[in-house]
Amino acid sequence: MSINPNLQGRSYPSGEVYDVGREKIREFARAVKATHAAHFDVEAARTLGYEDLVAPPTFAIIVAQRADAQLIEDPEAGVDFSRVVHAEQRFTHHRPIVAGDRLVAELHVDQVRSMGGGAMLTTRAEISTPEGERVATTTSSILVRGENQ
Amino acid sequence: MSMVLSELSVGQQIGSRSIEVTRQDLVRYAGASGDFNPIHWNERFARMVELPGVIAHGMFTMGAAVQLVTDWAGDPGAVVDYQTRFTKPVTVEDVDGAVGAVIEVTGTIGAVNEDDATVRVDLAVTAGGQKVLVKAQALVRVR
């Protein structure tokens, strides 16, 4: 199995809406060992000026990886998930994600580069509300290892 | 938030932290994030794909490391940009009742941007004496 070089420039439309729930923010915060009160206590979040619980800075990965799944599961892409290693990640927040947000993500394949027997794939998820308000941009580079890599 | 831009300078340390990691932490992160790649919980599978053993999700390490910055900033929403490269995997040993890996995080101010009132915090992140994140940078808005 090898990466389809024609993937570069391809995009995948927004899939289902992701509803950001309070319990999911709390669960994710515990999972990354975050302890800030604004992730757990609505009053603490409101004191900081937010409408509801604030998501940790890497929470958007949940939404981004759902979008990435479209690419990984695309039989035309040729990505062997068991050989994927995460190489780079970036989050740019246009505004913080808070509980109650409804998010969609459009995925763009920005770059495909051959590396030895494998390939480096750079994708960008543009996360917004269904109404079009920009919320976050995430970029991920994954290395799909070739055999013996 | 009590930070004042004029009191911050390049090279200033924001603190450090040790993060203890167990296999249970990886299972919890898998569940919370939805990333169930077996390399993060199945030793047999991890070795089959030529990894040294079960490894932490890069996103677990990235997500846990930034807590130093959030706590320093006093506001998780102040982290407007956060990026890293993953260089070495964090192998998490399967040990009964003990810690499987320790991630060490130190933060230093790398830049103070007066024009948009942000500071860049550079994180040094190691496990077992090796750098696991490189160019780990968080941009923090100072109000």
Which residues in chain A have their CB less than 8 angstroms from residue B89's CB?
A: 85
Yes or no, beta carbons of A87 and B66 under 8 Å apart: no
Name the 3-class secondary structure at A133: coil
- Give me the pLDDT at residue A114, please: 87
Q: Which of A20, A53, A89, A124 should one mutate to test binding to chain B, selecting the residue with the greatest count of B CBs within 10 A?
A: A89
Flag whether pLDDT at B1 surpasses 50: no
Q: CATH for A5-19+63-144?
A: 3.10.129.10
Q: Which of A1, A4, A8, A27 is nearest to A108 (CA)?
A: A8
Domain ranges of chain A: 5-19+63-144
**A67, A68, A72, A75 alpha-carbon torsion, rounded to 10°:** 40
At how many degrees (to 10) do helices B23-33 and A61-72 cross? 80
Express each pLDDT in B61-77 by its tens digit: 999 999 999 999 999 99
pLDDT tens for each residue of A42-98 = 999 999 999 999 999 999 999 999 999 888 888 888 888 778 889 999 999 999 999
Q: Which CATH number goes with the domain that contains B46?
A: 3.10.129.10
Measured in whole angstroms, how far is the alpha carbon of residue B63 from the centre of its chain? 5
**Apex B139 CA angle, B36 and A125, nearest 5:** 45
User: Which residue of B lies nearest to A142 if distances are taken between CA atoms?
Assistant: B86
The answer to whether the CB atoms of B33 and A65 lie below 8 A apart is yes
Nearest to A87 among B25, B29, B86 (CB): B86
Domain span at residue B127 reads 5-141
Strand partners, B127: B103, B130
By the 8 A CB rule, do A37 and A139 touch? no
